[in-house]
């Protein structure tokens, strides 16, 4: 799998964000044959202040942000995944949308674990999604979707792996703070190592976010990492290397607790 990972800084201006996303995706060369382009959580519009009402910013799944992703996915002939606030009759969902290479919406994942931590209350502004792991087929491989704070819950990653996931996708707006970058790096590596899967993480940067989007292989080796400025990363995640890692470290096959549905 060849991911392209986009690190950017979104604002509360949805039109400006769409223009910025359009420029970044226009610069992706289809000749590179990316299998997936991953953008951060809240790319459609940022969270703003802790008390910003997100309902006026939210859009439906047939709104202009998703339309942009569908159009770009069709142009690139690849899957594009990005985060948005999805409109409802009440609080919005924090949603990842996956636009397929044919220009169709192939999956939506509504964030399960809301960031009620470190003095923040995401649940006051957003609704939690159903507890159901969501995967996206990418050719012969499977991408598993997680959002930001989900990274701190290993049971979700394991549930995705039990549904055949080869690579975990983690769009995020990881809030900066004491040791938060250490947490980010450690948890990304842990999810890769304990599940023997690749991990691709697209993070927001600027305005109090950590940045450091990262691509890791199934043994937890960092193949590419951004700093704290806008960036575009790419690296090849070799399925043969994943299989070799699982032969060397067959921890999934050796499980004795909750081992269901794991592919060989």
User: How would residue 190 be classed by pLDDT, with cut points 50, 70 and 90?
Assistant: very high
pLDDT of residue 78: 97
pLDDT of residue 30: 86
Pure H helices in the chain: 14-26, 64-76, 154-162, 180-195, 239-248
pLDDT of residue 29: 87
* DSSP designation for 229: S
Are the C-beta atoms of residues 7 and 230 closer than 8 Å to each other? yes
Q: What is the pLDDT of residues 117-128, one digit of tens each?
A: 999 999 999 999
- What number of other Cβ atoms are within 10 A of residue 136's Cβ? 21
pLDDT at 35 over 70: yes
Are the C-beta atoms of residues 11 and 17 closer than 8 Å to each other? yes
φ, ψ at 213 (rounded to 5°): -55, 145
CA 218/CA 221 separation, integer angstroms: 7
Q: What is the pLDDT of residues 127-170, one digit of tens each?
A: 999 999 999 999 999 999 999 999 999 999 999 999 999 999 99
pLDDT of residue 125: 97
pLDDT of residue 17: 98
Are the C-beta atoms of residues 123 and 180 closer than 8 Å to each other? no
Any idea which residue has 């994942």 for tokens? Answer: 109
CATH 3.60.110.10 is right for the domain spanning 3-248 = yes
pLDDT at 184 over 60: yes
The residues that are catalytic are 41, 111, 148
pLDDT of residue 32: 85
Mean pLDDT of 24-40: 94
What mean pLDDT, rounded, does the chain reach?
Answer: 95
Domains of the chain, by residue range, sit at 3-248
CA 80/CA 171 separation, integer angstroms: 12
User: How would residue 264 be classed by pLDDT, with cut points 50, 70 and 90?
Assistant: very low
């Amino acid at each position: 799998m060849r991911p392209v990972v986009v690190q950017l800084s979104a604002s509360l201006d949805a039109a400006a964000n769409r223009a910025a996303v359009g420029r970044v995706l226009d610069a992706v060369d289809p000749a590179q044959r990316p299998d997936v382009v991953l953008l951060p959580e809240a790319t459609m519009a940022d969270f703003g202040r802790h008390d910003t009402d997100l309902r006026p910013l939210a859009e439906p799944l047939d709104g202009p942000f998703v339309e942009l992703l569908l159009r770009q996915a069709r142009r690139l002939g690849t899957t594009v995944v990005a985060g948005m606030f999805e409109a409802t009759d009440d609080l919005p969902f924090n949603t990842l949308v996956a636009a397929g290479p044919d220009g169709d919406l192939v999956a939506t994942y509504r964030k399960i674990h809301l960031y009620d931590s470190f003095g923040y209350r995401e649940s006051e502004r957003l609704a939690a999604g159903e507890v159901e792991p969501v995967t996206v087929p990418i050719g012969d491989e499977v991408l598993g979707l997680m959002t930001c704070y989900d990274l701190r819950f290993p049971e979700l990653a394991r549930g995705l792996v039990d549904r055949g996931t080869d690579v975990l996708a983690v769009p995020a707006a990881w809030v900066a703070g004491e040791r938060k970058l250490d947490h980010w790096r450690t948890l990304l590596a842990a999810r890769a190592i304990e599940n023997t899967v690749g991990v691709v993480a697209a993070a927001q940067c600027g305005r109090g976010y950590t940045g450091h989007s990262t691509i890791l292989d199934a043994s937890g080796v960092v193949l590419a990492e951004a700093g704290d400025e806008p960036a575009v990363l790419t690296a090849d995640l070799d399925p043969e290397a994943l299989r070799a890692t699982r032969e060397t470290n067959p921890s999934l096959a050796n499980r004795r607790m909750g081992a269901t549905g794991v592919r060989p």
